Amino acid sequence: MNKSLLTNLIAFVACLLGWQFSIEWLFITALFALSGAVTNWLAVHMLFEKIPGLYGSGVVQVKFKQFKNGIQTLIMEQFFTEENLSKFMSEQNTSPQPAGFDLKPIIEDVDLSPAFDSLIVTIQNSSFGSMLGMLGGVEALAPMREPFVENLKTSIVEISQTDDFQQKLLTNLSDPQHMSDIKQKVDAVVSQRLDELTPQMVKTIIQDMIRTHLGWLVVWGGVFGGLIGFGAHLAGI
């Protein structure tokens, strides 16, 4: 059972029992506990839900733009700083066995058909153009498109995996100007993804992260409220 609901239910039942059987200390203790638990539960509810007439309620949804900006600032200033990127590149350069960059997924996803088209244009504009016409024209080369593209991708992947290529890539990425460009591109990607968030999505994300801890606020509100009530009873207030 939800611990917030359970806390409120226990305090409410205890309050009824204290009132029904005229047990003053139980009634006062339970009443204070119920007051503390309900107050904290209402505060938690108001944090996420907009309640008409209650100023300040629904702050997570109302201020979702500030939350998104805060998330972006945290990511860019704590993780993707130029210093951290430079440190990563430096470690790649000095590591005995650098991890390198696996460009194969990117290369395989690229459409290299324009490379074949460029090859056709080059042949047509060369001294072999007239000979190509005698052999059936451009259409005669069409069956070569797929094998050409596949072989070209394989060759590019093999080149990208060589130590010389990886070293040159790391060297260029280590340049301060490149670090700045990379950070700007990462910032743009993060900003684009955060722009897709809606107030409801931001509310759900934050609520899921701290739901357990917010539930304990209600529990401890009931506990401390009960202690205050019991203390008030002993003091004769």
For the chain, give the mean pLDDT: 79
Q: Say what the pLDDT of residue 110 is.
A: 80
Please provide the DSSP assignment of 182-229 as one string. Answer: HHHHHHHHHHHHHHT--HHHHHHHHHHHHHHHHHHHHHHHHHHHHHHH
Confidence band, pLDDT 50/70/90 cuts, at residue 99: low
CA distance 73 to 194: 11
How is the chain split into domains, by residue range? 3-63+198-235, 87-195
pLDDT over threshold 70, residue 174: no
Write out pLDDT tens, residues 54-68: 777 888 777 778 877
0.75 surpassed by pTM: no
Please provide the DSSP assignment of 5-23 as one string. Answer: HHHHHHHHHHHHHHHHTT-
Write out pLDDT tens, residues 74-90: 777 766 676 776 666 66
Q: Are 4 and 41 in contact (CB under 8 A)?
A: yes
For 91-127, b/e burial (b = at least 16 CB within 10 A) is: ebeeeeeeebeebeeebeeeebeeebeeebeeeeeee
CA distance 223 to 236: 20
State CA 109 to chain mean position distance: 24
pLDDT over threshold 90, residue 29: yes
C-beta pairs of 177-185 under 8 Å, 24+ apart in sequence: 179/82, 179/85, 179/86, 179/89, 180/82, 182/85, 183/76, 183/80, 183/81, 183/82, 183/85
Q: Which of 10-14, 210-214, 219-223 has the lowest mean pLDDT?
A: 210-214
Q: Say what the pLDDT of residue 24 is.
A: 92
